[in-house]
Amino acid sequence: MEHHLVCEGDREGAADTLAQLLAFTKVHFDAEELLMRHHRYPGLDGHAAAHRTLYAEALAVGQAHGAGDPEAARATVVRLRRWLLEHIEGSDVAFDAWCREQHVVLE
Ligand SMILES: [Fe+2]
């Protein structure tokens, strides 16, 4: 994605990539929160708040790109990637551990 954002002449490709990222992100977060709600995960509120923050960052990438500011878009992608990895390694792993403790089987 960073390549799309910093290379002139591929704005359409970058816009398509961003649109796909936003759509996938929303579906993924909604599905994860639905699972948490269904299983009454006690950390749902905090986890959902983290998802909203991550989604806002993804929206910011699109806004920076749409405003013709590839460097701002690139910086936001770098920040988003770091937050996403931290989220997966922290909050998502915690949910998985809770599921194991509670004998919840996710399919
Ligand atoms: Fe998550």
From CA 98, how far away is CA 107, in angstroms rounded?
Answer: 15
Distance 19 CA to ligand 1 centre (A): 20
51 Cα to the center of ligand 1, angstroms: 6
Taking the centre of ligand 1 as the mean of its atom positions, its distance from the CA of residue 74, in whole angstroms, is 23
- Could you list the pLDDT tens digit for every one of the 107 residues in the chain? 555 555 555 777 878 888 888 899 899 999 999 999 999 999 999 999 999 999 998 888 888 888 888 788 788 888 888 988 999 999 999 999 999 999 988 77
Ligand 1 centroid distance, CA of 14 (Å): 25
Q: How far is CA 93 from CA 14, 42, 83, 105, in A?
A: 30, 14, 14, 14
- Residue-range domain boundaries for the chain: 2-101
Q: Domain 2-101, what fold?
A: Four Helix Bundle (Hemerythrin (Met), subunit A) (1.20.120)
pLDDT value of position 8: 56
Q: What is the distance in A from the centroid of ligand 1 to the CA of 21?
A: 15
This prediction's pTM: 0.80
Ligand 1 center to 59 CA (angstroms): 17
